[in-house]
Amino acid sequence: MSSQTSVMVGGDPLRPEDVVAVARHSARVELAGEALERVAKTRALVEDLADDPDPHYGISTGFGALATTFIAPERRRQLQASLIRSHAAGTGPEVEREVVRALMLLRLQTLATGHTGVRPDVVRTYASLLNAGITPVVREYGSLGCSGDLAPLAHVALAAMGEGRVRDADGVERAAADALAAASIAPLELREKEGLALINGTDGMLGMLLLALHDLAVLLDTADVAAAMSIESQLGTDAVFASDLHALRPQVGQAASAARLRTLLAGSPIVASHRDPSVCTRVQDAYSLRCSPQVHGAARDTAEHALLIASRELAAAIDNPVITDDGRVQSNGNFHGAPIAYVLDFLAIAVADVASISERRTDRALDPARSQGLPPFLADEVGVDSGFMIAQYAAAGIVSELKRLAVPASVDSIPSSAMQEDHVSMGWAAGRKLRRAIDGLGRVLAIEVLTAARALDLRSPLEPAAATGAVRDLVRTVAGGPGPDRFLSPEMEAVTDLVASGAVARAAEQTGGMR
């Protein structure tokens, strides 16, 4: 559970950490009083327009390509319910709980702005669903990242109506009606405009972006740790990380990673052992060692740009039509996911490249022609034992997949809705593949950390730096040291858990090695 006990919705814009707290750690949500006042005020405007004989999109008309079809007052509740039922057309595997909760929270935030025209009851119901731990079953495929994440959001709205399937707070799948009744939540009966307001947002792709940025921050810190362990264990030099060298190229992320590498390697007896030119005649290290700050730093800068876009989107109110501050009900195109889709794709490129350079460092450690005296594949008895040979195969296979996942989704578009929606962002697809890429990066870094920990042990009696040594010791709590071949997969999985949880980065930080 999160140490953050609650998150306020409807006051200041949500922060990225608020979304993670609710989505991943089940923090409660509270509604700001002024939010419900705004919602009630704009709802009154919608109800006035519902009585107007002139058509108003989403209030007294059909949707999409049917926007010119006038709907009589007695059919409008059916119109809203039919919209949700027909649009809850997702298919494929179930989407992760944290993604669905992020989507729900972000839709709630927009509803609470008062720009959508829903009743206060709708806002309260979404907050109640989150606080009760009820998570609608959402399927993998169904969003084109334009006109909002339609199908995923419709599955959520369907559950709020007491229809469809959900998972309760214990993760048990059950009928939505039963779960709502058990939580004393009354199902919604949607009125004018409300169905449209519940599905016309970029909430799914934004939620995936925010979760990915949270995880990537941990992995980029870990990448610096892994690189330091590899550089140290392969007898690389730290001279190339000097601050004056990196000041010659004023890239912010690069300078940050170089500074971390300097600190991580500070005081290393292994590095000190070959500083003397008479001991080490190598002029310069290979790119995968020497250029680690340049690659990791570029990824850091990419993440900073993505965070800027995400922060802007967190301050947005996405709906169509939207109710403006001066009371207009105005059609618009703010639901188009291009801003988010681009950075989701951009991050997938950065993730693939960080994993690629990590795998190259791992491969060097296993090759006696390049590892500076380490045994082939770090094997105990060469020829009988294979050491980490196949661990590198696993890393290489993941990196190959990450390169495929780096192909942008946002450059594709398939027209829909009888050509009314003739250009779409594919931002949802970009988010889905980035989540898989983040998982792959964590695994590749874990393999490097596991490999470098063994390589450091094989440099005994020389000792590593305090920070890298602390990480080596952490790895030893879940994976054995050098010795005959053993079942390696469980150790790889255990170190992957240490990487993903941030334990590897924290172990280095606690020695003062990550500033």
Per-residue pLDDT tens over the stretch 392-432: 999 999 999 999 999 999 999 888 877 777 788 899 999 99
Is pLDDT at 515 greater than 50 in this prediction? no
Residue 515 included in any domain? no
Q: What is the mean pLDDT of residues 31-57?
A: 87
Mark whether 139 and 188 lie in a shared domain: yes
Residue 22, helix vs strand vs coil: helix
Mark whether 284 and 178 lie in a shared domain: no
Whole-angstrom Cα distance, residue 488 to residue 109?
46
Kind plus residue range of the DSSP H or E element containing 174: strand 173-175
Whole-angstrom Cα distance, residue 343 to residue 166?
31
Residue listed under structure tokens 């494929």 = 92
- % of the chain exceeding 70 in pLDDT: 95
Question: Helix-strand-coil percent breakdown of the chain, rounded to 5?
Answer: 55, 5, 35
Name every residue whose Cβ is closer than 8 Å to that of residue 308 and which is 6 or more positions away in sequence. none
Final residue belonging to a domain, choices 178, 201, 224: 201
Residue listed under structure tokens 């921050």 = 217
CA distances from 164 to 85, 135, 175 (A): 9, 11, 6
- % of the chain exceeding 90 in pLDDT: 82
- The reported pLDDT for the residue numbered 2 is 45
Compute the residue count for the chain: 515
Whole-angstrom Cα distance, residue 347 to residue 409?
12
Whole-angstrom Cα distance, residue 346 to residue 305?
10
- The reported pLDDT for the residue numbered 269 is 97
- The reported pLDDT for the residue numbered 420 is 73
C-alpha torsion sign, points 41, 47, 50, 51: negative
Residue 204 pLDDT grade (very low, low, confident, very high; cuts 50, 70, 90): very high
Average per-residue pLDDT for the chain: 93
Residue 373 included in any domain? yes
Mark whether 21 and 100 lie in a shared domain: yes
Domain count, the chain: 2
**What CATH number did the domain enclosing 23 receive?**
1.10.275.10
232 contacts 241 by C-beta, under 8 angstroms: no
Q: What is the mean pLDDT of residues 84-99?
A: 97
Domain containing 153 equals 6-201
Name every residue whose Cβ is closer than 8 Å to that of residue 242 and which is 6 or more positions away in sequence. 262
Active site positions, annotated: 57
Whole-angstrom Cα distance, residue 450 to residue 494?
10
pLDDT in tens, 350-389: 999 999 999 999 999 999 999 999 999 999 999 999 999 9
Final residue belonging to a domain, choices 158, 184, 201: 201
Residue 68 pLDDT grade (very low, low, confident, very high; cuts 50, 70, 90): low
Whether the bond between 321 and the residue before it is cis, its omega within 30 degrees of 0, is yes
Closest CA to 329 of 53, 68, 57: 57
User: Given the DSSP bridges, would you call strands 139-141 and 91-94 parallel, antiparallel or unpaired?
Assistant: antiparallel
Mark whether 195 and 214 lie in a shared domain: no
Is pLDDT at 494 greater than 90 in this prediction? yes
- The reported pLDDT for the residue numbered 321 is 87
| pTM listed for this prediction | 0.95
Final residue belonging to a domain, choices 184, 201, 218: 201
Residue 322 included in any domain? no
Is pLDDT at 390 greater than 60 in this prediction? yes
Residue 379 included in any domain? yes
Whole-angstrom Cα distance, residue 33 to residue 503?
40
Name the phi and psi angles at 135, rounded to 5.
-120, 110
Mark whether 151 and 214 lie in a shared domain: no
**What CATH number did the domain enclosing 476 receive?**
1.20.200.10
- The reported pLDDT for the residue numbered 331 is 86
